[in-house]
Amino acid sequence: MYDDPDLVARTILELTRKTDDDHHWRIDASMINASDIELDGTRGRLVVRRWADEEPRHLVLLAHGYGEHSGRYEHVARALAEAGAAVYAPDHLGHGRSEGEQASIHDLSDVVHDLALVHARARESHSDLPLVLIGHSMGGIIATLFVQTQDVPVNALVLSGPVVGGNPQLIGLLELDPIPEVPIDPAMLSRDPAVGAAYAEDPLVYHGAFRRETLQAFAAAVEQIASGPDFGDLPVLWIHGEEDPLAPLDVTRPVVERLARGEQVQYVVYPGARHEVFNETNRDEVIEVVTTFIDSVLASGLSRRA
């Protein structure tokens, strides 16, 4: 088996996705080209994972959350690529395999600028494709600020458990000195225990206490989002876990409702789900909602202003 790269890829994919027997679709790994690139970011080298269908019809920029890395979205990116996307997903500054002190961000504007650099690099190969932004958790902040501050036409935005309204308990840690050594509890992420176990064992995930400078950057970014413009007519899909402890639903909903006011806006809150809906027990349903939304937006021709 190990002499057959396609068979190895398909076997790994099948094991890591923990598929059930009632899937609506399956991914043919042999159809997807996966590779890494590196580029100079705002404060050091960035590692960017990319996946592409043989003939992509749209471009996706995927922004991951705090303390993790883009490799945790392999199953999402491959599904998106199978649905016709070229997916570019950077490890943010201080995350994964990119440079910087681990999980340390002083200004989220640096990460937004890095995402713009990734976009520019992607355009070298995909100059005319419609652009979709997907941001999870901290990545939801990054994607929101990208829309608010970058002069880049965006065709659709997907926000997954975005911390755009902040988290009073986490921001409250700034009142403590020192901040206690309390890392993210893997059980907060998903009802699937395998997700928490994989997270806890992942060497590219940061498992330490929250960085003070990063929490301060979060607080400043939440204020910037609150005072910034809404999304205009941008099509938006917001997906969220009802029991999300890291991006509490009650503080997130008002912010999303203010920002997303266009004609093509969809909210989906999953009962009982926790923070990582892309890794929840109904992950295939969630991903299908995302691909269906993207298809409907691109078919309609709706786009945000440049």
Candidates 91, 160, 275, 284; catalytic one: 275
Candidates 53, 91, 114, 244; catalytic one: 244
Of 161, 162, 155, 160, whose CA–CA distance to 294 is shortest?
155
Across the chain, mean pLDDT equals 90
- Tell me if residue 244 is catalytic: yes
pLDDT digits (tens, 9 = 90+) for 171-218: 999 999 999 988 899 999 999 999 999 999 999 999 999 999 999 999
pLDDT exceeds 90 at position 304: no
* Domains of the chain with CATH codes: 33-300 (3.40.50.1820)
Local structure of residue 275 (DSSP, 8 states): S
Judged by DSSP in three states, 186 sits in helix
* Pairing state between β 131-136 and 85-90: unpaired
44 bridge partner residues: 41
CB 81 within 8 A of CB 53: yes
Q: How far apart are CA 89 and CA 82, in angstroms?
A: 16
Q: How far apart are CA 295 and CA 264, in angstroms?
A: 12
- Tell me if residue 137 is catalytic: yes
Residue 21: the pLDDT is 35
CB 90 within 8 A of CB 98: yes
- Tell me if residue 21 is catalytic: no
Q: How far apart are CA 271 and CA 149, in angstroms?
A: 33
Residue 167: the pLDDT is 97
Query: Which amino acid belongs to residue 85?
Result: A
Q: CA 24, 28, 34 angle in degrees (round to 5)?
A: 125
Name the pLDDT band for 302 (thresholds 50, 70, 90). Answer: low
pLDDT digits (tens, 9 = 90+) for 36-94: 999 999 999 999 999 998 899 999 999 999 999 999 999 999 999 999 999 999 999 99
Local structure of residue 209 (DSSP, 8 states): P
pLDDT exceeds 50 at position 6: no
Radius of gyration of the chain (CA): 18
Burial of 272 (0-12, 13-18, 19+ CB in 10 A): exposed
pLDDT exceeds 70 at position 254: yes
Q: Which two tokens stand for residue 182?
A: 């309390």
pLDDT digits (tens, 9 = 90+) for 7-41: 333 333 333 333 333 333 333 444 577 889 999 99
Give the dihedral sign, CA 287/289/295/301: negative
Query: Which amino acid belongs to residue 37?
Result: I
Could you give the dihedral angle defined by the CA atoms of residues 136, 42, 85 and 191, in that order, rounded to the nearest 10 degrees? -20
Candidates 137, 160, 190, 284; catalytic one: 137
Residue 263: the pLDDT is 92
